A and B are shown apart, each in its own frame.
Chain A
């Protein structure tokens, strides 16, 4: 960990303790985000992406969820040792989050101005009117006229609401912005606008970005690094350039194959066969074993560790795809 490391997650384990079973949502995830870096976290629904993100803010719903192991360092300080009071100073200030569904992420009975002002006043020593001006400024920044300060969320469209959510997240100049599928709930045309907005503002303000998505294309456009997550573990990670040029994990390859190709004529998509294993009953060996075309005997009994295979590229697989094969 060098001094430019904003966030360092070490061996994070999150479990949800339900009445009948224990769901292992995140199983020993480690990664780092450097200052100004844009990292994509990709995986299918239920892979543990959102749980990983919420862990950074220590907002995993408890009960039933709990971070059972691991450390999270923000600017070198261990968040696991922070009190709830200290965490409140970090949330919204050092680390801000954009949530998946803008339709439900805003409080329907408060004006959007109020909701932006709330975070500003929590972390800055500003009077009401100064905070109001700053909130209007934030609205303008995300492309909403400042006069709409007094409007309620239901008076905005989905894309506009997501802009408001972005304004809330960026209001206190966070060092790390976590965007949890910021465009999944939006129309395709609006998706591009919102992504561009996030990108532009990130460039302007220079914060680091953890972008959670299931869209590999978005990652290619937006991110420097990518991590592929499957059943609570990172199976492949590295710079976008290295990973996309040299896919090594069979799961990553499956994800890429599932993208419809414009230049080939085909009627059907190519899905990855089977389902993700039940996270409350994970297999002993590799979680991808059942669905993996490259599986070998070793995969059934041993869980592969994430290992460096070349510079800036790590894979957790016993039998990775060979280049050119």
Chain B
């Protein structure tokens, strides 16, 4: 397991490096003179030259790229062109909020999705199944900002239970979490349903029933665990999606999250912010994907076996050899 983890960690570093290179190169292609973007339309040639000197804009592409990487390794995400503030600080103040909303949204979505999907599968073609299928299809196809606005309309304006916008504590997070939760649950419900349906027809489910096991345990212990790999993939892809910041949801609820931050930077052509923002999002997603892959091995011993967790195999080979010598 350790060997595999280290291998995956190396891959993760390579992925991050290549992604950064790609984004760096793409942003290089953005039209417009960076110095003019920083200084404004009315800047003089002298001030432009000074800015080019200050931000090292005259250096060749690869020099700037490796400077950037070196700074990253020192934990320095660069300086915003617009605010002249360190980007690391701005991201650090926004990231927790995005993470809270993404994590809780996905947790809510997972709970809803697992329950709804499993019930749907067990009671296939029942009224319950059809209603849930409809709701999840609806949740998947309705745009998140529309659901968000609907929630604001109902719970803030009509009922007045929850604040509509801002982020000053727990109650402010309920509606965004609910919005993301509903959307995430739709995908998870659909995946759970199809995956459980496939598993409950398997022979080992019949074996479990023939042991006299209760239906609930048969479903949870025998069916769900076997069905969990594709469901986990779905959960993990939802999480990476929302960790990237849900720009639309953040906009509707006026949440100062990382999605909004990067979007603003794109609009103002604040290239270091875009670059570092994407890097941070990318790093988080990589971690989630890494953890997901490791979780697969925990859930399914067969996956663990294919990774070749050397120790046991060697031991067995040694035993076999000994047996042969006797």
List chain A positions with a Cβ less than 8 A from chain B: 57, 59, 87-93, 96-97, 99-101, 104-110, 115, 118-119, 122-123, 152, 154-155, 165, 168
- Using a Cβ cutoff of 8 Å, how many contacts connect chains A and B? 75
Given A152-B301, A154-B302, are A108 and B211 neighbors across the interface (CB < 8 Å)? Answer: no
| Shortest Cβ distance from B303 into A: residue | A109
Given A107-B204, A108-B301, A152-B302, are A92 and B210 neighbors across the interface (CB < 8 Å)? Answer: yes
Which of B210, B212, B214, B226 contacts A107, CB < 8 Å?
B226
Tell me the bound Cα distance from A104 to B202 in angstroms: 7
B207 with A106: CB separation less than 8 A: yes
Tell me the bound Cα distance from A109 to B301 in angstroms: 6
Shortest beta-carbon distance from A279 to chain B in Å: 20
B225 with A109: CB separation less than 8 A: yes
Residues of B within 8 A of A104 (CB): 202-204
Tell me the bound Cα distance from A154 to B212 in angstroms: 24
Task: Kindly state whether residue B208 has any CB partner on chain A within 8 Å.
Answer: yes
As a 0/1 sequence over residues 216 to 228 of chain B, the CB contacts with chain A under 8 angstroms (1 = contact) are 0000011001100
Residues of B within 8 A of A168 (CB): 207, 211
Task: Kindly state whether residue B213 has any CB partner on chain A within 8 Å.
Answer: yes
How big is chain B's contact interface, by range?
A: 20 to 34
Residues of B within 8 A of A110 (CB): 221-222, 225
| Shortest Cβ distance from B201 into A: residue | A61
Residues of B within 8 A of A89 (CB): 212
A105 with B203: CB separation less than 8 A: yes
A99 with B207: CB separation less than 8 A: yes
Tell me the bound Cα distance from A96 to B226 in angstroms: 24
B229-261 with Cβ < 8 A to chain A: none
A119 with B212: CB separation less than 8 A: yes
Residues of B within 8 A of A106 (CB): 204, 207
Can you name 16 A-B residue pairings with CB atoms under 8 Å? A88-B213, A89-B212, A91-B212, A92-B210, A97-B210, A99-B210, A104-B203, A105-B204, A108-B301, A108-B302, A109-B299, A118-B208, A118-B211, A119-B211, A122-B211, A122-B212
Task: Kindly state whether residue B28 has any CB partner on chain A within 8 Å.
Answer: no
Q: A99-B210, A105-B204, A123-B212 are in contact. List 4 more A-B contacts (CB 8 A).
A: A59-B206, A101-B203, A104-B202, A154-B301
